[in-house]
Amino acid sequence: MFTGIIQAVGQVAALERRGGDVRLRIGGLPLADGQLGESIAVSGVCLTAVAFTDDGFVADVSGETLACTTLGGWLVGERVNLERALALGERLGGHIVSGHVDGVGEVVARRADARSQRFTLRAPAALARYIAAKGSITLDGVSLTVNAVEGPQFEVNIVPHTLTHTSLDAWQPGRRVNIEVDVLARYLERLMGRDAGGVDLDLLAEHGFVNR
């Protein structure tokens, strides 16, 4: 479990393709107290540390993860946002983040907004229903607030501190980003679904509460 508050910006120090999957060496986050098998979020993707180096760690990336995130397009030198798993007793400064990427979105536009930068992104259509104005979303591992939503497109405002302490300052139109929607929205949809005895739009329409 993570919070989306980035602890360091590191880089892909080495990348070895191994018959369909990949072994990564990530630098930029010394882990003197690291434990083999611990979870570390790398640009929003929860990876398992299988070895440690002087300035980082090594992790294996499965074919499934390569296919469902931006990791499949990474090269040596890629800047990545890093966060260790949340420890009991720590402040939950962002929101609840699992490190399980739901899909890959795209930066559509970027413009200055006073000292901040406002980004417009496009989410996959299947994820759009989970994104709400003033709700939480995780982009490349960073906990952010959604400013506005229109269909599959949404806006986030990045303040100077976040631009300085994450990789988001490099975002430009066309950039692919890892998206994790709010976990509470996913569970709420499941609990409200008809198969769980809940309420959905089809049930409301059947009883005349909404027009379809």
Integer angstrom CA distances of residue 205 from 191, 195, 212: 19, 16, 6
Annotate 142-162 with b (16+ C-beta within 10 A) or e (fewer).
bbbebeebeebbbbbbbeeeb
Alpha-helical regions (H) of the chain: 63-68, 125-128, 160-165, 183-192, 201-206
Q: Which residues contact 75 (CB under 8 A, 6 or more apart)?
A: 12, 15
For the chain, the structural domain boundaries read 8-84, 103-181
Does the predicted TM-score (pTM) go above 0.85? yes
**103-181 adopts what CATH topology?**
Elongation Factor Tu (Ef-tu); domain 3 (2.40.30)
Given the candidates 3.40.50.620, 2.40.30.20, 3.30.470.20, 2.40.320.10, the CATH classification of the domain at 8-84 is 2.40.30.20
DSSP symbol at 36: T
- 103-181 has the same fold as 8-84: yes
Q: What is the pLDDT of residue 196?
A: 53
Q: What is the pLDDT of residue 37?
A: 96
3-state secondary structure of 206: helix
Q: What does the H/E/C string look like for 101-125? A: CCEEEEEEEEEEECCEEEEEEECCH
E strands, the chain, are: 8-18, 21-27, 39-42, 45-53, 56-61, 79-84, 103-113, 116-122, 136-139, 142-150, 153-158, 176-181
Question: Which residues are bridge partners to 96 per DSSP?
Answer: none
Cβ pair 25, 60 in contact under 8 A: no
Cβ pair 6, 80 in contact under 8 A: no
Q: What is the pLDDT of residue 205?
A: 77
Mean pLDDT, the chain cut into blocks of 10 residues (212 residues total) = 95 93 95 92 97 95 95 96 90 88 97 96 95 96 97 97 96 98 83 63 71 64
Query: How many residues belong to the chain?
Result: 212
**CB atoms inside a 10 Å sphere around CB 113:** 13
